[in-house]
Structure 1
């Protein structure tokens, strides 16, 4: 199974007429742009802001809908965006986050 990376589709609405981006997901999107070869190694899913986020719930349960999330298997996930990027760089090559 390829790792699954869930990020929010952006921009998204949260409140009447209020448009937003998720800074954590934007960091991930920037890393994906700098490392396009990752798209061959992982399954990227861009999903809506509204909860429940059924795709994530089906894999991790209702209490674990935080995004971004990289799902490696049922027992191992990464939610910190810097850790996600550094993991992908380590596993698949490419640029990681500068310290």
Structure 2
């Protein structure tokens, strides 16, 4: 049985277009906050942080070269995938950060965003 896998941009990344500055992903930051607020629940899914530069080998291996946008929640088979999940072959995934937050609440018991 596979677990849900969450892939995020590692905080503090550098964008070559903005020399000398470091960044966080505005879409991943709320998810990072939720994970940090409840490490016990976060341990119930596989979380991976990857660099900003493309190609992103971990994302390509999980999905494909055309789906490297982050964050992404790749749904394991412990619970049914929601009807709105995207599908590649047998892999179900969600890329909308608000929907990821909802699914972390539904599938893993995190508090909901108000």
* TM-score, normalised relative to structure 1: 0.90
Distance 2:8 2:110 in 1: 20
Q: Which runs of 4+ in 1 moved over 3 A?
A: none
Correspondence for 2:65: 62
Q: Over residues 35-80 of structure 1, what are the superposed CA-to-partner deviations in whole Å (9 max), with x where a residue is unaligned? A: 3222221000011111100011011100000100000154310111
Q: Provide the aligned length of Structure 1 versus Structure 2.
A: 98
- What does 1:8-87 correspond to in 2, within 5 Å? 8-15=9-16, 16-73=19-76, 74-87=90-103
Question: Which is helix-richer, 1 or 2?
Answer: 1
Q: In angstroms, what is the RMSD of aligned CA positions?
A: 1.3
Q: Does 1:97 align with 2:98?
A: no
Note if contact 1:86-1:97 (Cα within 8 Å) is conserved in structure 2.
yes
- Name the SS of the counterpart of 2:39 in structure 1: coil
Give the secondary-structure state (helix, strand or coil) at the position aligned to 1:22.
coil
In the aligned structure 2, how far is the partner of 1:17 from the partner of 1:33? Answer: 27
Indicate conservation of the 8 Å contact 1:78/1:84, yes or no. Answer: yes
Give unpaired runs (5+ residues) of structure 1.
Answer: none
Q: Which runs of 5+ in 2 are unaligned?
A: 77-89
